[in-house]
């Protein structure tokens, strides 16, 4: 589409009360700025991001995801404020869509909607019960937008206005070129406001938008509201595709998670970044991170940590799995399986631990097919267990075990008759 986009992200974000820049706070696993750049790139090949405070940090984080956005440094010293922010933008196209960087719920379709209207400025507004903090949209008697007045500059009457500026604008580039130099900083904050451009035009179209989509995140309370709204959107989308969720309000799913086929998620499940589930049942209070799970059941209260691949397996309660590949495996209870590769038909007994770390480096445990690992086994890595092996309960495995063998390292059990009575006396 022939439209340029500018995302303003140079502000200090004072109200977040954080040393981290506002736009780097995350919702559903990703920075607010990531969400909005991703959507903007769906409608434009000319995306500008305006930075100032902690610009290098923001640039570095965003360049993990995007390599073709233009980062611009605002001349904040001389031109602070949202008007100052867009002064340095050189749009490639004759229309520039300007977005606040603190609007993580905005989607490409909402941005596209602005392009259906012809005007020097297409701005957006919504009506809300608590307008505090937003710029108020002041109309004339013909219902035309006269000006936008910021909270800090508004008089008592203006503050009563419930129609507020949503913070997204589509400008004709020629209008900006002509009018940006006319902005002044004659206001309480001594800033150049983008919102003052509205009173410099006789051709302003205001469109009504949804508060839930256009909300600006200015505080950590707002962040929590945006998180709830995005979670609702993500989960509704999956449920419509056939995923069963028990008590969905207790489930947390990050924005890039993929769920395919028939999956069931019980209450309290967390699916973190980089997770993919196919035909899988995740039971109560399990956490899955950056792992792929197919045709399996996991939990309750299991933790699958990054880089695990689990297929056709049953993982029970209090099992932790990290960077491991399991295919056709049963690990029903209380185990730690880290840096392991475990093959079909193998049963991992309760209390099995892969001792994968010697204090300096991590080592692999390889377990073949049809192995029976007895309860309370320690596998000291690096170690390889071949197919068809039985490991007796309570064994510490420190050597590779050949195919078909039994591994057992137990002290003989000693029984001392009547010891109890000798120790405590016969009264006890
Ligand atoms: C802004 C609008 C307000 C609107 C609200 C909607 C102005 C003056 N006010 O207020 O009318 O109701 O958004 O959410 O625009 N930024 C810069 N450079 C700066 C200052 C800010 O790039 O010098 C960026 C911020 O990083 C942020 C965005 O602009 O992403 C908006 O700034 P913010 O301080 O959140 O403005 P609001 O007070 O929310
Ligand atoms: Mg804001």
Average pLDDT over residues 8-22: 94
* C-alpha of residue 86 to centroid of ligand 1, in Å: 12
Peptide bond into 396 cis (omega under 30): no
Same domain, 230 and 213: no
Nearest atom in ligand 1 to the alpha carbon of residue 10 is 22
Is 328 part of a structural domain of the chain?
A: yes
Same domain, 227 and 185: no
Q: Answer yes or no: are the C-beta atoms of 277 and 271 closer than 8 Å.
A: yes
Ligand closest to the CA atom of residue 73:
1
Same domain, 21 and 62: yes
pLDDT at position 142: 81
* C-alpha of residue 100 to centroid of ligand 2, in Å: 7
Per the structure, the complete domain to which residue 206 belongs is given by: 4-219
Rounded Cα–Cα distance for residues 404 and 386 (Å): 8
Same domain, 127 and 62: yes
Same domain, 312 and 384: yes
Q: Per-residue pLDDT for 78 more than 90?
A: yes
Q: Per-residue pLDDT for 126 more than 80?
A: yes
* C-alpha of residue 122 to centroid of ligand 1, in Å: 17
Residues 6 or more apart whose Cβ sits within 8 Å of residue 374: 349, 390, 391, 392, 393, 394, 395
Q: Which pLDDT band holds residue 152 (cuts at 50, 70, 90)?
A: very high
Same domain, 187 and 335: no
Is 419 part of a structural domain of the chain?
A: no
Same domain, 243 and 373: yes
Ligand closest to the CA atom of residue 152:
1
* C-alpha dihedral sign at 206, 208, 214, 215: positive
Q: Per-residue pLDDT for 1 more than 80?
A: no
Same domain, 306 and 180: no
Mutate which of 100, 164, 219 for ligand 1 pocket (most atoms within 8 A of beta carbon): 100
CATH number for the domain spanning 125: value is 3.90.550.10
Taking alpha carbons only, the member of 10, 185, 217 closest to residue 98 is 10
Nearest atom in ligand 1 to the alpha carbon of residue 11 is 26
Q: Per-residue pLDDT for 427 more than 70?
A: no
User: How big is the chain by its Cα radius of gyration, in Å?
Assistant: 30
Same domain, 212 and 242: no
Q: Which two tokens stand for residue 258?
A: 């993929």
Is 292 part of a structural domain of the chain?
A: yes
SS3 content of the chain, % helix, strand, coil (to 5): 25, 30, 45
Final residue of a domain: which of 219, 235, 264?
Answer: 219
Q: Which pLDDT band holds residue 392 (cuts at 50, 70, 90)?
A: very high
Q: Per-residue pLDDT for 345 more than 90?
A: yes
Nearest atom in ligand 1 to the alpha carbon of residue 164 is 12
pLDDT in tens, 91-104: 999 999 999 999 99
Q: Which residue has the tokens 């439209």?
A: 3
pLDDT in tens, 174-214: 999 999 999 999 999 999 999 999 999 999 999 999 999 99
Q: Answer yes or no: are the C-beta atoms of 14 and 58 closer than 8 Å.
A: no
Peptide bond into 404 cis (omega under 30): no
Nearest atom in ligand 1 to the alpha carbon of residue 102 is 30
Rounded Cα–Cα distance for residues 65 and 61 (Å): 8
Ligand closest to the CA atom of residue 134:
1
Query: For 406, phi and psi rounded to 5 degrees?
Result: -105, 135
Same domain, 277 and 382: yes
Final residue of a domain: which of 161, 188, 219?
Answer: 219
Same domain, 141 and 21: yes
Same domain, 226 and 212: no
Rounded Cα–Cα distance for residues 116 and 131 (Å): 27
Is 417 part of a structural domain of the chain?
A: no
CA-nearest residue for atom 31, ligand 1, is: 100
- Find the residues whose C-beta lies inside 6 A of ligand 1: 8-11, 50, 74, 76, 80-82, 84-85, 100-102, 134-135, 148, 150, 164-167, 193-195, 216, 218
Is 427 part of a structural domain of the chain?
A: no
* C-alpha of residue 178 to centroid of ligand 2, in Å: 26
Taking alpha carbons only, the member of 201, 45, 7 closest to residue 122 is 201
Mutate which of 6, 154, 167 for ligand 1 pocket (most atoms within 8 A of beta carbon): 167
Q: Answer yes or no: are the C-beta atoms of 87 and 10 closer than 8 Å.
A: no
* C-alpha of residue 144 to centroid of ligand 1, in Å: 23
> Percent of the chain scored above 90 by pLDDT?
96
Is 253 part of a structural domain of the chain?
A: yes
* Structural domain total, the chain: 2
* C-alpha of residue 82 to centroid of ligand 1, in Å: 6
Nearest atom in ligand 1 to the alpha carbon of residue 81 is 23
Supply the residues annotated as catalytic: 333
Is 280 part of a structural domain of the chain?
A: yes
Rounded Cα–Cα distance for residues 379 and 354 (Å): 5
Final residue of a domain: which of 200, 219, 238?
Answer: 219
Per DSSP, 241 falls in state: T
Q: Which pLDDT band holds residue 428 (cuts at 50, 70, 90)?
A: low
> Percent of the chain scored above 70 by pLDDT?
100
Is 42 part of a structural domain of the chain?
A: yes
CATH number for the domain spanning 262: value is 2.160.10.10
């Amino acid at each position: 589409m022939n439209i340029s986009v500018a995302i303003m992200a140079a502000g200090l974000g004072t109200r977040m009360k954080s040393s981290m820049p506002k736009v780097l706070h995350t919702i559903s696993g990703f920075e607010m700025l990531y969400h909005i750049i991703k959507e903007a790139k769906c409608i434009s090949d000319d995306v500008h991001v305006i930075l100032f405070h902690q610009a290098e940090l923001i640039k570095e984080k965003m360049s993990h995801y995007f390599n073709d956005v233009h980062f611009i440094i605002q001349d904040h010293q001389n031109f602070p404020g949202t008007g100052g922010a867009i002064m340095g933008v050189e749009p490639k196209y004759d229309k520039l869509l300007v977005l606040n960087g603190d609007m993580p719920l905005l989607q490409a379709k909402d941005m596209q909607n602005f392009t259906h209207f012809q005007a020097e400025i297409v701005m957006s507004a919504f009506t809300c019960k608590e307008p505090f903090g937003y710029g108020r949209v002041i109309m004339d008697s013909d219902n035309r937008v006269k000006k936008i007045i910021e909270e800090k500059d508004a008089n008592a009457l203006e503050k009563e206005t419930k129609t507020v500026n949503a913070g997204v604008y589509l400008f004709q580039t020629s209008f900006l070129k002509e009018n940006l130099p006319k902005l002044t900083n004659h206001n309480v904050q001594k800033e150049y406001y983008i919102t003052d451009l509205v009173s410099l035009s006789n051709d302003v179209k205001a469109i009504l938008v949804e508060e839930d989509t256009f909300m600006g995140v200015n505080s950590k309370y707002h962040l929590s509201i945006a998180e709830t709204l995005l979670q609702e959107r993500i989960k509704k989308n999956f449920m419509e595709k056939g995923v069963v969720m028990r008590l969905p309000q207790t489930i947390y799913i990050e924005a890039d998670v993929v769920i395919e086929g028939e999956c069931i998620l019980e209450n309290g499940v967390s699916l973190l970044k980089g997770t993919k589930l196919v035909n899988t049942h995740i039971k109560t209070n399990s956490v899955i991170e950056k792992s792929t799970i197919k045709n399996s059941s996991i939990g309750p209260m299991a933790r699958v940590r990054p880089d695990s691949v689990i297929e056709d397996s049953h993982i029970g309660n209090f099992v932790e799995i990290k960077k491991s590949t399991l295919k056709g495996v049963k690990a029903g209870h209380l185990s730690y399986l880290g840096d392991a590769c475990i093959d079909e038909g193998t049963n991992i007994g309760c209390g099995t631990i892969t001792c994968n770390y010697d204090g300096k480096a991590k080592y692999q445990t390889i377990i073949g097919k049809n192995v029976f690992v007895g309860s309370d086994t320690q596998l000291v890595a690096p170690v390889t267990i071949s197919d068809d092996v039985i490991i007796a309960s309570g064994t510490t495995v420190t050597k590779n075990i050949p195919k078909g063998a039994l591994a057992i390292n137990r002290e003989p059990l000693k029984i001392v008759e009547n010891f109890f009575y000798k120790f405590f006396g016969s009264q006890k």
